[in-house]
Amino acid sequence: MKYTLVTGASRGIGRAIALLLAKTGQPVIINYRTNEAKALEVKRLVEATGTPAELLAFDVANEAEVDRAMDAWEAAHPDDWISVLVNNAGIRHDSVMFMMSDEEWHSVVDTTLNGFFYLTRRVLKHMMPRHRGGRIVNMASLSGVKGLPGQANYSAAKAGLIGATKALAIEVAPRNITVNAVAPGFVETDMTCDLNEDELKRQIPMRRFAKPEEIAEVVAFLVSPAASYITGEVINVNGGLYT
């Protein structure tokens, strides 16, 4: 059986992605780090669509945790594999560079970039030699495309993810695996609740933040058969902010 794994799926964009992809009928693995209550809520909503769902708790930035979780999942699913991976987990610790701490830099880069590396490498071990197919979508950001002040760490992590997306897409294309990135602008989630929304909306041509579900729709397209010849691309979803 094929599975879909969405990281950081207990809230925000990840939650919306998990719920939308559940409508395809493919079982969904809901990754989370600490918020089990929210993850259980997503699991219940996925199952309400008639699609099976599982929880898988691990910190994507911790290589040992990733390996332990995947070892356990693979042992419990010897005949199954993950055919869709959405690398969505990410965090923000905004600060101007000269005041940024080591922890603020490393935690953001480790979660986005190292997390992508640890988990994607593991999933590819089954996608490539055994099944010769799959879909990988990496959640980038407007910050990684154009850079935003106060986000040198976040911009570096997301820009690195975009570069890795393009390189990996070339590596795995002969195995019928596509790798793409989605770069949202400002989205209505708890990650952006501390921002001055009224001020930022004046910079956006569409004069509003995106809904998480609007980002999820793009991900759903990229993992669908309709996008089988699209790889190495970065899809900007920002209301015209960066055009």
Partnered with residue 4 across adjacent β-strands are 28, 84
How many Å apart are CA 154 and CA 124, to the nearest integer?
25
Q: Which of 3, 54, 36, 43 is nearest to 19 (CA)?
A: 43
Say if CB 206 and CB 239 are below 8 A apart: yes
Q: Let me know if 242 is a catalytic residue.
A: no
Say if CB 5 and CB 26 are below 8 A apart: no
Q: Which position among 3, 32, 118, 154 bears the catalytic label? A: 154
Question: 């594999």: which residue's tokens?
Answer: 81
Q: Which of 139, 191, 155 is nearest to 12 (CA)?
A: 191
Which residues does the annotation mark as catalytic?
A: 154
